[in-house]
Structure 1
Amino acid sequence: MTETNRRDISWIFALLAAYFMLQVGVRLATSHSLDLDEAEQVFRSQWLAAGYGPQPPFYNWLQYTVFQLTGVSLAALSVVKNLLLFISYLLYGLTARLILRDKALVAIATLGLLTIPQMVFEMQRDLTHTVAVFFSASIFFYGFIRSLKQPSLASYLIAGVGIGFGLLAKYNFAILPAAALIAALADARLRPRIFDRRLVLTAVVALIIILPHLFWLKDNLDFATARTLEKMTASGHASYPAQVAMGVSSLALAVISFAGLTVAIFAIIFGKSLRPALGSGSQWTQLLERMMLVFLIGILLLIVFGGAAGIKDRWLVPMLFILPLYVCLKIEAAGVTTAKAFRRFMAVVAIIMIGVPAALYGSVAAARFTGHYERLNRPYAPMLETLRQQAEPAAILAGDSLLAGNLRQDIPGVPVLSVDYPGFSPDLSGRRPLLLVWLLPKDGSEALPPDMAQWLQTNLGASTPEALVIDKPYFYQRGDDRYRFGYAWVNQPG
C-alpha cells in the first residue's frame, strides 16, 4: 500500500459506491418480481401511519417518501436499500479513521463488513428493516465514538439521530445505546463524556424522532410485539430448563454464524501474526469488549427471564457489526505489520465483490437448469397483464402481502388490499370490478380460499364468486414449468 493511499482512504468509498451501484444493476437484471420484504414495502407504501405492525416504521416512512417522489418501482426499492448500505459503510469507515492510525487497517475494518454473510448477502437478498438497523447503528456508533474522542455539539446530535432512527428501525436496537452507555461509564477516562451536558441534546433529539411512533405504540403494544415474541419464545411445550438451553444454544449458533467467516478470513490473511493480537488491547478494544459483553448479557437475560428460545443471527447486527473494527484495533495494538495482509485481504474483497452479485443472480437464474424456483421466479407481472386484458380492476384483494406488493408494483393507481393485513381498508364503494388473486399451492385446492370468502362476506356482503385459474411460465423456467394463480372477479353493487 503506497504512502499516498495510506494518507487518503477516499478510494475505499469510491470502491464501495461502485459496488453498491453494481448491486442495483444486478437486482434490476435478476427479476421484476419482489421478495417478501420488498413486497411489504410496496404494499404498505399505499398509506402513511405512525405504526404498521411488528416492525417499527422507519423503513416504511423512508420508502413511502421516495415512492411519493419517484413513483413505485423496483429501481426505487433497490436504490434506497443500497444507498442506506453505502452510507452505513461510509460512516463505519469514518469511525474507524477516528480510532485507527494505520490507514491499511481502516480499509480492512471498513471492507471487513463484506465478510459478514448476514450483511453482505442476506441484506441484499431481501432484508429491509435489518438494513435500517445497520444504518442507524452506524450513525449512532459514529456519533458515540466521536463524542468520546472529539466531543462537540454535532457529535452528540449525531448520536441522538442514530438512537432515534434505530428505535424506529427495530426495537432490539435499544440494547446498543444501553451497552455503549454502560461500557463508557465503566472507564473513568470516558465517564466525563457521559455526564456532559450535551448528552441532553442526544436524548431530546432521539425522543423527538420517536415521539409519533411512541404515541401509536402505547395503544398498540400487543399488536407491535406479539409476532416478535412469538418467534422468540417458540419452544413448543419444552420445560423451563429446556427452553433456556434452546435459547443459549441458538445464541451461540447465531454468534458463530455471524462472526465465524469474518474470524476465519482474518486468521487466514494475518496468519501467525494474528496470535499476538489476541492478548493485546487498548482503551478502544476494552470499550468495544464491554459493549459486546453487555449486549450478550442483555440477550441472555431475555433468554432466562423473557422465555426467548430462538435467537436469529440477524438480530445481532446492532452489536456484532463492530467486529471487523474490533479485530483491527487488536491488530494495531499488537503492532502487527499490515502490508502483506492488506494485499491478501484485497484479493478476498475482490472475490466477494464479484461472487456475491453473481450468487444473487445465479440463485434465481439457475432455475432453468435445476427446476428449483425462488419467489423471484414467480411471474406476477405477466399474470396481472393477462387479467387486465379481461377487465381493468378498480381494486384488488390479494391472498397475502407478498402477492399484494407484487401486484401493486404494476398497478400503483389502484388500491391493493391483503387478507393477511386488515390495517389497510379503503372505501371500496363504487369501485368495481374487484379482482381477487391468490397463490395456488402445488396440487392444492383451486377453490377460493376460506379467508377470502369470509372477507367478501364481512366487508362487502358478497357471495363466493367463481374461482378461476391462470398459469404463466416462471422467470428462467425449465422446459414448460409454470406457476399457477387463482383469481376471481366481483362486480360489487354500487
Structure 2
Amino acid sequence: MTSASPSPAKDWQSQLYRHPLAWVLLLACAHVISRVAISDGMKWDESEQILWSQQFLLGYGAQPPAYSWLQWLVGQLLGPTVLSLSLVKHSLIVLTYVLAWQTGRALLPAKGAFWVAGGLLLMLPFGWDSVRDQTHTILVTAMTFGAWWMALRQVRAPALVNFVGLGIFCGVGMLAKYSFAMLIGVFAVAAFSVPQVRRALLGRGWWLAPLIGLLIFAPHGYWLLHHWREATTETINKMDISTQVSHLKGLGALAAAVFSTLGLWLLVSLASYRSRLWKADAAPSPAADAALPEWRVWAWPLLWRYLALVFAILVGMVLVGDVSSFKQRWVLPLTAVAPLALYVWRPRLLADGVGRGYTTTVLVFALIFLTLATVRPWQSNLRKDPDELNHPVAQLSASLAAAGYDGQGVIVGSDNMVAAMLRSRNPRAYATACTAEFGRMADCLAQARAKAAQTGSGLLYIARMDKATPAWWEPVLATAPGAAIQDLTLPFSHMRASTPPMHYQFVWLPAPITP
C-alpha cells in the first residue's frame, strides 16, 4: 500500500486528487437515481421531513429548522416526493465533501484534501448512515467543515470575508443541530490557547462573525425561548441520564459510539500508512525541521487541543452528568476533523508514493455503500424481515382511493412513516402522526380534527399494524363515535411470495367534520 506511484502524468489517482468534484457529483447522481428507483417507502428521518416541511415554521420540535426549511423549499418545486428528499440529502452530502476538501486545502496539498474528505466517507455515521437515513447530521457536519475552513483561512490569510463566512457557517450550524454550540465553545477554547490563532481570530472585523451568526439564529432563537421544553425533552431522554446507572455503562456506550464513528477510518489508516504513523525520522536535523510546513507550529496545537477537549467533555458528561447513552451521530460532527489532524501531525504521510491504498479503499467503500443502498429492499427479503422500504405505497394509496378516500383532507397516521408515505402519494392532503409518546396523543388527535373541520375536508386515520397496536385505535374511536375500522392486506414489495402480507387498518370520515 506504500509502494512507489507511477509518473504523475499517467497516475489516475493524481488526476482524481486534482478533479474530485466531478466524481463526487457522479456518485451523488447515482445515489439519487438508486433511491428513487428502489422504493416509494420512507425511513424515519425521511418521513419526518415530509411531515415537517409541509409548512415553513420557525421551529418544528426537537430539531432546529434549517434542514426542514431546505426541504420545504425544494418541496415547493418537486412536491413531497422521494425525489425531493433525495435531492436535498445528496446535495448536502456533496456540499459536506466539498467543504471538507476546502478545509484540507487550507493547509494541505490536493492529495491531503482528498484524504480529509475521503476520511469522512470512511466514518460510518456519514459514509453509510447519511445515505441510509440521516438528515440534520449531514447539514451540521457540512457547517462544521465550513467553520473550520473559514477559521484556518483567517489564520493563514486574514480578511474580513473570513469572518463573514465564519458567522454564516456558525449561524446555520446552530440551525442544523443545537450541539453545534458545544463545537463553537470547544473550538474557541482551543483556538484562544494558541497565540497565533488567537491573534488572527481577534483581528480587524472579528465582531462580524458573532453578529452574523446571531442574526441568522435569532428568529429561531425567539421560537426556542417559547418552546424550550418541546425542543429539549426528546434529546435529554435519549441520553438516559440517571444516577442509578453505572458510569462503566456510560463509558462503554461512549467508547462504542466513538469507535463506530472513527473505527473504520482508523483501521484503513493503519493498514495504509503502517509504520509511517509512528516511526520517527531516522536522523532529525535542522534541515528536516525547516522542511516542515510553516503552519504546523500552530495548526497541530489547535487540532490536538480541540480533539482532547472534545473527548474530555464527552467523558465528563458520563462522570459528572450521568449520561449513559451516546449516538454515533452526536460524535460525528465533533470528531470529523480527525483526518485533518492526522496529516497535520504527520505531514510525511503526504509524500509521493504514500497512501495509494488509502485512496483505493475510499473508492471501494464508496461503491460498496452505493451497492448496499441500492439493494436494501432485497436485503430485507434475504433477512425475511420487511421494513419501510418494502411497503407497497402505491398499492396502499390506490386501495384507499377505491375505498372512498378523496386524496385530500387530513391524514392521521399511527407513526411518521405511514403518514408521510401517504402524503407523498396525495400531495393535496395534510399529514400528521399521532402517537402515545410523551402523552400528547389526545392533543394531536384534537388538533387534526380541528384542522379538518376548519378546512372543510375529510379525515383519514390509518395504522400500520406491524407497529401499531389495537390500543392505538381506542382514543381515535373515542373522537369518532360510530366509525368502523376497515382492513387492508397488501403484499410487500420486493419480498418473496411466502412473506406474510402487510396489514393496515383505516377509518375514512368524509367532509364535513364537526369540531
TM-score, with structure 2 as normaliser? 0.87
Alignment gaps of 5+ in structure 1: none
Determine the C-alpha separation between the residues in 2 that align with 1:277 and 1:390.
75
Determine the C-alpha separation between the residues in 1 that align with 2:350 and 2:169.
34
The question of 1:287 aligning with 2:295 is answered no
Determine the C-alpha separation between the residues in 2 that align with 1:162 and 1:64.
20
Corresponding residue to 1:405 among 420, 439, 461: 420
Determine the C-alpha separation between the residues in 1 that align with 2:203 and 2:314.
29
Name the aligned partner's letter for residue 394 of structure 1.
Q
- 2:496 is paired with a residue whose SS is coil
Corresponding residue to 2:362 among 327, 341, 349: 349
Specify the alignment match of 2:492 in structure 1: 474
Specify the alignment match of 1:463 in structure 2: 481
Determine the C-alpha separation between the residues in 2 that align with 1:471 and 1:306.
48
Specify the alignment match of 1:386 in structure 2: 399
Shift of the 197–452 alpha-carbon distance from structure 1 to 2, 3 Å rule, reads farther
The question of 1:245 aligning with 2:248 is answered yes
Specify the alignment match of 1:203 in structure 2: 210
Q: 1:468 deviation in Å?
A: 1.5
Specify the alignment match of 2:95 in structure 1: 87
Corresponding residue to 1:19 among 19, 27, 30: 27
Specify the alignment match of 2:377 in structure 1: 364
The question of 1:232 aligning with 2:250 is answered no
Name the aligned partner's letter for residue 488 of structure 2.
I
Q: 1:288 deviation in Å?
A: 0.8
C-alpha contact (below 8 Å) 1:368/1:479 kept by paired residues? no
C-alpha contact (below 8 Å) 1:181/1:194 kept by paired residues? no
Specify the alignment match of 2:76 in structure 1: 68
Specify the alignment match of 2:62 in structure 1: 54
Specify the alignment match of 1:257 in structure 2: 260
Shift of the 10–70 alpha-carbon distance from structure 1 to 2, 3 Å rule, reads farther
C-alpha contact (below 8 Å) 1:403/1:438 kept by paired residues? yes
Shift of the 487–76 alpha-carbon distance from structure 1 to 2, 3 Å rule, reads same
The question of 1:177 aligning with 2:201 is answered no
Q: 1:109 deviation in Å?
A: 2.0
Corresponding residue to 1:417 among 423, 432, 435: 432
Shift of the 33–303 alpha-carbon distance from structure 1 to 2, 3 Å rule, reads same
- 1:470 is paired with a residue whose SS is strand
C-alpha contact (below 8 Å) 1:133/1:317 kept by paired residues? no
C-alpha contact (below 8 Å) 2:343/2:350 kept by paired residues? no
Name the aligned partner's letter for residue 486 of structure 1.
Q
Instruction: After superposing the two structures, state which structure 1 stretch, 362-371 or 396-405, moved more.
Output: 362-371
Determine the C-alpha separation between the residues in 2 that align with 1:75 and 1:352.
24
Corresponding residue to 1:453 among 449, 466, 477: 477
User: Structure 1, residues 2-47: CA drift from partner, whole Å, max 9, x if none?
Assistant: 5467699441222211111111122112211111111111111111
Q: 1:197 deviation in Å?
A: 3.8
- 2:19 is paired with a residue whose SS is helix
Name the aligned partner's letter for residue 436 of structure 1.
Y
C-alpha contact (below 8 Å) 1:113/1:120 kept by paired residues? yes
User: Structure 1, residues 443-478: CA drift from partner, whole Å, max 9, x if none?
Assistant: x86576223234xx2xxxx31511111011111111
Determine the C-alpha separation between the residues in 2 that align with 1:326 and 1:451.
55
- 1:299 is paired with a residue whose SS is helix
Give the alignment of 1:243-322 within 5 angstroms.
243-276=246-279, 282-322=297-337
Instruction: After superposing the two structures, state which structure 1 stretch, 243-252 or 467-476, moved more.
Output: 243-252
Determine the C-alpha separation between the residues in 2 that align with 1:26 and 1:338.
37
Q: 1:299 deviation in Å?
A: 2.5
Determine the C-alpha separation between the residues in 1 that align with 2:193 and 2:354.
34
Instruction: After superposing the two structures, state which structure 1 stretch, 70-79 or 412-421, moved more.
Output: 412-421
The question of 1:147 aligning with 2:154 is answered yes
Determine the C-alpha separation between the residues in 1 that align with 2:82 and 2:487.
27
Shift of the 226–448 alpha-carbon distance from structure 1 to 2, 3 Å rule, reads closer
The question of 1:438 aligning with 2:453 is answered no
User: Structure 1, residues 415-438: CA drift from partner, whole Å, max 9, x if none?
Assistant: 223213767746212634422111
Instruction: After superposing the two structures, state which structure 1 stretch, 392-401 or 152-161, moved more.
Output: 392-401
Specify the alignment match of 1:222 in structure 2: 229
Name the aligned partner's letter for residue 382 of structure 1.
Q
Determine the C-alpha separation between the residues in 2 that align with 1:7 and 1:121.
26
Determine the C-alpha separation between the residues in 1 that align with 2:16 and 2:258.
34
Corresponding residue to 1:136 among 143, 148, 159: 143
Shift of the 172–448 alpha-carbon distance from structure 1 to 2, 3 Å rule, reads closer
Shift of the 466–189 alpha-carbon distance from structure 1 to 2, 3 Å rule, reads same
The question of 1:326 aligning with 2:344 is answered no
User: Structure 1, residues 340-363: CA drift from partner, whole Å, max 9, x if none?
Assistant: 433212321221121111112223
The question of 1:187 aligning with 2:194 is answered yes
Determine the C-alpha separation between the residues in 1 that align with 2:280 and 2:269.
11
Q: 1:329 deviation in Å?
A: 2.0
Query: Percent identity, aligned pairs only?
Result: 24
- 1:306 is paired with a residue whose SS is coil
Instruction: After superposing the two structures, state which structure 1 stretch, 105-114 or 425-434, moved more.
Output: 425-434
Instruction: After superposing the two structures, state which structure 1 stretch, 283-292 or 191-200, moved more.
Output: 191-200
Determine the C-alpha separation between the residues in 2 that align with 1:271 and 1:382.
54
Shift of the 336–45 alpha-carbon distance from structure 1 to 2, 3 Å rule, reads closer
User: Structure 1, residues 41-89: CA drift from partner, whole Å, max 9, x if none?
Assistant: 1111111211111111111111111111332221111111111111111
C-alpha contact (below 8 Å) 1:404/1:417 kept by paired residues? yes
Q: 1:282 deviation in Å?
A: 4.5
- 1:106 is paired with a residue whose SS is helix
Shift of the 253–83 alpha-carbon distance from structure 1 to 2, 3 Å rule, reads same
C-alpha contact (below 8 Å) 1:448/1:486 kept by paired residues? no
Determine the C-alpha separation between the residues in 1 that align with 2:425 and 2:58.
26
Q: 1:104 deviation in Å?
A: 2.4
Q: 1:173 deviation in Å?
A: 1.1
Instruction: After superposing the two structures, state which structure 1 stretch, 358-367 or 149-158, moved more.
Output: 358-367
Specify the alignment match of 2:387 in structure 1: 374
C-alpha contact (below 8 Å) 2:122/2:265 kept by paired residues? yes
Alignment gaps of 5+ in structure 2: 285-291
TM-score, with structure 1 as normaliser? 0.91
C-alpha contact (below 8 Å) 1:446/1:467 kept by paired residues? no
C-alpha contact (below 8 Å) 1:419/1:451 kept by paired residues? no
Determine the C-alpha separation between the residues in 2 that align with 1:115 and 1:84.
17
